[in-house]
Amino acid sequence: MQLGRLCNSVNALLWFSVCVMMAPVPVNAQPLFTVGVSILPQKYFVERIAGDKARVLVMVGPGHNPVTYEPKPKQLSQLQEATLYFLMGVPFESRWIKTFSQVNSDLKIVPLPSTIDFRTMSHSINVSTENEILNHNHLHVTDSSMMDPHIWLSPRLVKQIALSIKSAFINIDSNNKEYYELNYQRFIVDLNQLDQTIRQQLKTVKARQFMVFHPSWGYFADEYGLQQIPIELEGKQPGAKSLSQLIELAQRKQIKVIFVQQQFSDRDAKTIARQIGAKVVFVNPLAENYLENLQQTTRLFVGALK
């Protein structure tokens, strides 16, 4: 009799355990904050640090150009719910940041870290051969040269951006300081590992110059001892003379790959590629999965620079 009751108790306990395991997982509480960002890599950075405590609104989605982008009415409406907006320095921000503040007077605009040392787009260019510099008309350096906004393509600079994101969340949600700190430290570990991987892979390549249509990769090149040769600069495509000079330069440098991105026309890149027998390869500086994207892009650079 006692054995029977024991068996029934065991069966009941097992049944209860199965029910618990099969029960729906409780839905996480709603995010504490809605935050706005300009580009997809920022979404990744914010989510690495804020986790499920933030819902991220991205202005420039896949395939769109952060130079010319204009936010949609729905995005402006959603921004009314936001607590923070993280700037990235991309061109459309300067035209729209005032509107963002008008749409939501309580919105806290988080600037880029003051510690970041920006380069100009003209500094992306160094097309010197052994004893001469080809003078590209469309690459003329002026005092009004554009600031290069592509800071997120340097893992070292992303660490500064991550610190700014962490600080912003702790300022508005100090009760979860340890949570943000832990996520931040984990992200830094991944960024350090990414940096080491990139350095290791690029250490042995023979060539150090690569050709791109739009000069997105200047910070990346600076960080890892490379040099980008851009076809387009400050939104200006090369004229016939400059295109001829770029073809001559690509031949001298034995360029085998020209990198382009989907947000810009690849017509001129294909023209040069046909003339020099090179391939046109797509890379995406605006991909959301930051770590995976830079690892993949590094492998493409290594293949092009062998």
Residue 141 has pLDDT above 90, yes or no: no
Angle formed at CA 226 by CA 221 and CA 229, multiple of 5 degrees: 80
pLDDT tens digit sequence for 66-125: 999 999 999 999 999 999 999 999 999 999 999 999 999 999 999 999 999 999 875 444
Question: How far apart are alpha carbons 96 and 219 in whole angstroms?
Answer: 25
Q: Which of 161, 193, 225 is the last residue of a domain?
A: 193
- The reply to whether 255 falls in a domain is yes
Distance CA 176, CA 50 (A): 10
Q: Does residue 159 sit in the same domain as residue 286?
A: no
Domain boundary residue among 159, 193, 227? Answer: 193
Domain count, the chain: 2
Residue 94 lies in a domain: yes
Of the residues 127, 162, 193, the one at which a domain ends? 193
Q: Are residues 89 and 168 in the same domain?
A: yes
The verdict on 39 and 83 lying in the same domain is yes
Q: Is residue 179 domain-shared with residue 213, that is, in the same domain? A: no
Give domain status of residue 132, yes or no: no
> Is there a single domain that holds both residue 235 and residue 102?
no
The structure tokens 């787009």 sit at 121
| Same-domain status, 156 and 256 | no
185 in the same domain as 208:
no
Has residue 168 got a pLDDT over 90? yes
Could you tell me if 187 and 270 lie in one domain? Answer: no
The structure tokens 């382009």 sit at 260
Query: What per-residue string of b and e applies to 206-241 under the rule 16 or more CB within 10 Å gives b?
Result: eeebbbbbbbbbbbbbbbbebbbbbbbbbeeebeee
Q: Are residues 208 and 106 in the same domain?
A: no
CATH of the domain at 225: 3.40.50.1980
Query: In which domain, by residue range, is 299 found?
Result: 204-305
Contact predicate 286/60, CB 8 Å: yes
Residue 30's pLDDT band (cuts 50, 70, 90)? confident
Same domain, 184 and 208: no
Model pLDDT, residue 29: 61
For the segment 244-270, what is each residue's pLDDT rounded down to a tens digit? 899 999 999 999 999 998 877 778 889
